Amino acid sequence: MIIGINLTASQSMMSTDQFDQEFECSWVANVPGAIFGKELQAAQESGRIGNVPYDESHKVDTFWDLGIGDSTAIWFTQTVGRAIHVIDYYENRNEGLPHYAKVLSSKGYFYGTHNAPHDIEVRELGSGKSRREIAYDLGIGFRVVPKLPVEDGIHAAQLIISRCWFDQANTKAGLEALRQYHRAYNERLRTFRNSPVHDWASHAADAFRYFAVGIKENRGFERPPQVLADSNYDPLGVAI
């Protein structure tokens, strides 16, 4: 009875998320200001986080957040009907594009599209080439994800999680980053700030945001080959 009283008192002093995390050992209980916590909780409860193996009959699309002197994050997805299988996640830092080209090759996946944010077009001072051109030379033909305000991208990501099935083992680090992605609390105003906190979790979250925005764009690529031809990237600016 005493334990029950203590738990009841603790629950009244904590938010639901804090109580679940402290006493219910909830893996996806929200951190304060969590942005994707409720969506991940629903995915966990509905059994959409578990064993989701690579399906050789479907192409793998990748969605990147490219860091400059910082972390690069990559989500690997397969669209199977209306469902999206999030089968893998990779992140590293202070590595160039040749490293990530080797990672893609080592996975042994049959790839569809590689998608990156608009800043892939920025040219490097040393070579004068953009990272998109460098990637193309390494065999990675990037498509540029439409540029949207961060909040619009976050909203798209929150919605698309309901269609996602995550492989828990291969996306563990990415899932933890999504769970920790949050808004800071303003003590003076007693409310959460509008902008997400930029920390170690941001890279996975940004790449996931590009995925949510870019996957809609990919539907337009499902056309006859003669229409697809002009979407291939040529560093000389000539359609192939």
- What is the number of other CB atoms lying within 10 angstroms of the CB of residue 28? 23
Distance of CA 44 to the CA centre of its chain: 17
| This prediction's pTM | 0.77
Task: For residue 220, name the pLDDT band (cuts at 50, 70, 90).
Answer: very low
Task: For residue 114, name the pLDDT band (cuts at 50, 70, 90).
Answer: very high
Q: Is the per-residue pLDDT at 164 higher than 90?
A: yes
pLDDT tens digits, one per residue of 223-238:
433 333 344 545 455 4
E strand map for 94-146: 111-116, 142-144
**C-alpha distances out from residue 221 to 10, 66, 196, 217, 224, Å:** 53, 23, 32, 8, 9
Q: Residues 73, 63: contact at Cβ < 8 Å?
A: no
Q: Is the per-residue pLDDT at 26 higher than 60?
A: no
Domain ranges of the chain: 1-30, 35-231
4-5-9 Cα angle (round to 5): 115
How far apart are the C-alpha atoms of 92 and 102, rounded to whole Å? Answer: 13
Q: Is the per-residue pLDDT at 15 higher than 80?
A: no
DSSP for 45-104 reads HTT-EE-----TTSPEEEEEE--SSSEEEEEEEEEETTEEEEEEEEEEES--HHHHHHHH
Q: Is the per-residue pLDDT at 219 higher than 60?
A: no
Looking at residue 31, its pLDDT comes to 76
Among the residue ranges 96-100, 147-151, 218-222, the one predicted with the least confidence is 218-222
- With pLDDT > 90 as the criterion, what percentage of the chain qualifies? 57
Name the residue with higher pLDDT: 222 or 104.
Answer: 104
Task: For residue 9, name the pLDDT band (cuts at 50, 70, 90).
Answer: very low
- What is the number of other CB atoms lying within 10 angstroms of the CB of residue 136? 17
Q: Which residues does 237 contact at the CB level (< 8 Å), separation at least 6?
A: none
Name the residue with higher pLDDT: 94 or 19.
Answer: 94
Q: Mean of the per-residue pLDDT values for the chain?
A: 81
Q: Is the per-residue pLDDT at 183 higher than 70?
A: yes
CA-wise closest residue to 221 among 155, 153, 145? 145
Task: For residue 187, name the pLDDT band (cuts at 50, 70, 90).
Answer: low
Fold of the 35-231 domain:
Nucleotidyltransferase; domain 5 (3.30.420)
Looking at residue 239, its pLDDT comes to 44
160-163-168 Cα angle (round to 5): 100
Q: Is the per-residue pLDDT at 24 higher than 60?
A: no
Name the residue with higher pLDDT: 182 or 47.
Answer: 47
Looking at residue 182, its pLDDT comes to 86
